[in-house]
Structure 1
Amino acid sequence: MGFLDRVRDLVRKPKEPPLSIDSPGLEVVVEAFDVAEADSAALARSPGWVAEKPAVLRHHLRLPPGRVAEAAKVLAQDGWALGGPEAPTGGTVLVHARRVQVLDALHCAQERSRMAGLAQRLGGDSLGWDALQPGTAGQAPGDSIA
C-alpha cells in the first residue's frame, strides 16, 4: 500500500474518539464474578465483546472506608482510577477500580489476582470484574455507567 492509499484511508475512515473511563454510552460486554470460571471462558462466552477494541476494565472491590484512599494511591501508580465509595455494607464500601485497556485472558487474570491481593491486604474483598465498551444495541437497564 502506497503513501497515497494510506492518506485516502485516513480521509475516508471517521476517527473514533478515544475511550475513557467516563465515555458516554458504555455498556457491560463481559462479566466475571465466578472465581471458579477462567477469565478466558468469561471472554469466550461474551458475544458483545470486541476483542480488538479497548474496553473499560472495572474491578468491583469491597474495602473498609478508612482504606479507600490507600487503595486509590496504590492503584493510581498503574493507571487505575478508583470510583466510589458507595453502598456501605457490613463495615465496607463498594468501590470500582477502572482502567482503559485492550482485554485478553492473561491480563484479565493477572489483574484479577492483583486486585484480590490488594483487597485482602486492606481488609476487604474483590468481588469480580466486568468490562464495558461503547454501544447502544441491546442495552439492558442498569448496564450503562454513563
Structure 2
Amino acid sequence: MGLLGRLRDLLRRQDEPSLSIDDPTLVVVVEAFDIAEADSAALSRSPRWRADEPAVLRHHVRIPTDQVERARELLTPDGWVIAAGDISHISRVQKLDALHCAQERSRMASLAQRLGGEALGWDALQPAR
C-alpha cells in the first residue's frame, strides 16, 4: 500500500468511534464455529451485526501453555491481544467483513497448527443496542 493509502486509512480510523476489547457493553453479535460455513454466511445470518461499526473480532484457539508467549510475539505487532486459558481468546478491534474474517480465520488456524494447537472458531462483539 502506498503512502496515500496509509494516510487515507489513518484518517478513516480517526473518524471511527473508539472501542476497546474489554468494553463492558460488548455482546456477541456473530458466531462462526462451523468450519464448513463461510464467514460471509455467518455474517449474513446475524441480524445483530452492524457492518458499519467497528467490532471486536475474537478467535477461540487452543494453544499449548508453553507456546502462548510465542503466539504473543507473533500477534502483538498486529494489534492482537491474547487472553490465555484452556481456550485462549485472541482479540482485536476492527471493521468486520467477510474477506477479513476469512483471512484472520486462516491465519489463526495456521498459527494454532504451527504451535501444536487448534483453532476452534471466532465470534464478534459490538456494544449492545
TM-score range, shorter chain: 0.7 to 0.9
Take 2:20 and 2:52, find their aligned partners in 1: how far apart are those partners? 16
Any residues of structure 2 matched to 1:83-98 within 5 Å, and which? 83=83, 85-86=84-85, 93-98=86-91
Within the candidate set 95, 102, 108, 1:115 is matched to 108
Partner deviation per Cα, 1:116-137 (whole Å, 9 max, x = no partner): 000000000000000000005x
Query: 1:7 maps to which residue?
Result: none
Query: 1:35 maps to which residue?
Result: 35
Within the candidate set 86, 94, 100, 1:101 is matched to 94
The unaligned stretches of length 5 or more in structure 2 are: 1-15
Query: 1:20 maps to which residue?
Result: 20
Any residues of structure 2 matched to 1:70-85 within 5 Å, and which? 70-83=70-83, 85=84
Amino acid at match of 2:93: V
Take 1:29 and 1:134, find their aligned partners in 2: how far apart are those partners? 9
Take 1:59 and 1:32, find their aligned partners in 2: how far apart are those partners? 9
Take 2:93 and 2:33, find their aligned partners in 1: how far apart are those partners? 19
Task: State TM-score, norm by structure 1.
Answer: 0.76
Partner deviation per Cα, 1:2-32 (whole Å, 9 max, x = no partner): xxxxxxxxxxxxxx96111111210000000
Query: 1:127 maps to which residue?
Result: 120
How far the C-alpha of 1:35 sits from its partner, in A, is 0.3
Amino acid at match of 1:111: E
TM-align CA RMSD = 1.5
The unaligned stretches of length 5 or more in structure 1 are: 1-15, 87-92, 137-146
Which one is further off, 73-82 or 43-52? Answer: 73-82
**Number of residues of Structure 1 aligned to a counterpart in Structure 2:** 115
Take 1:47 and 1:28, find their aligned partners in 2: how far apart are those partners? 11
Identity %: 67
Take 1:94 and 1:35, find their aligned partners in 2: how far apart are those partners? 17
1:60 lines up with 2:60 in the alignment = yes
Task: State TM-score, norm by structure 2.
Answer: 0.85
Amino acid at match of 1:18: S
